[in-house]
Structures are given as structure tokens and as C-alpha cells.
Amino acid sequence: MKKTALLHGELSHLIATMGHGDALVIADAGLPVPAGTRCIDLAVARGVPSFEQVLDAVLAELQVEHAVHASELQARSPALATALRARLDGIPLSQVDHPTFKELTRSARAIVRTGEFSPYANVILHAGVVF
């Protein structure tokens, strides 16, 4: 459930219409978008906006029940893995291998593409409820 208003209209509308258990993917610039899955492309340049900036904005608006990331993140982008865990403090966080992660993106309401170029900078957020 959406908490307040986001600046990006398409992303704000998506969050406002998400229901309990719906999935939203925040992705780096390289994650493939499955055919038929909505893509909200926020990237304007390499690194802009960053994965962390987009994640912070979404977490300020969306009640998250649990999250999933690729297990390869820790080895390939350790600083980003630490930042992700810190931002999701108190939210259950699961790991799956990258091929499984990509398969899980097929059921997402949308993939939000950032300008991030760090390997495996992707997370699936499952919406919760505010009560």
C-alpha cells in the first residue's frame, strides 16, 4: 500500500495500485525485462539514478513485507549488498541464485530500471499492508 506521493508519475501510480503480495523489481541497467512485464525506465545516464536512490524513494512510499535478491550480489557487489541489508533492516530478505531471480521477475507487476551499473544490483520487493 502506498504511503505518500512520489515525483515520478508512472511509479507513483504503480505503487498506489499495488496490493498485498504484489511484487515490484528495482533493477540495474542490465537486468533483462521479461516479455509482457511492465518496465518503468528511470535511467538518464550511467549511475543516474542509482539503485540506492530509487530503493530509498520506493521504500519511503511502499510498505514492504519481504524482499528477494540474487545470492551473487554479496560476492560481486559487497558494498551494495551491505547497503541493501541496511535499508531493509527488519524486513525479511531471501536469497536465490540469479537464474531463479530472473525467473521470479516474470511475476512482478513492474520492473523499475535504474541507471545502476553495479553487478546484481536488483531486488524484488513484495508489498505488505500498513496495518
Catalytic site residue from 8, 13, 20, 98: 20
Does residue 20 have an active-site annotation?
A: yes
CA-CA distance, 53 to 128, in Å (whole number)?
21
Please name the amino acid found at residue 37.
T
CA-CA distance, 76 to 28, in Å (whole number)?
13
C-alpha cell of 113? 530500471
Cite the DSSP H helix spans in 3-129. 9-17, 51-61, 73-76, 78-87, 98-104
C-alpha cell of 126? 513484495
Contact call for residues 84 and 69 (beta carbons, < 8 A) = yes
Q: Which residues are catalytic?
A: 20
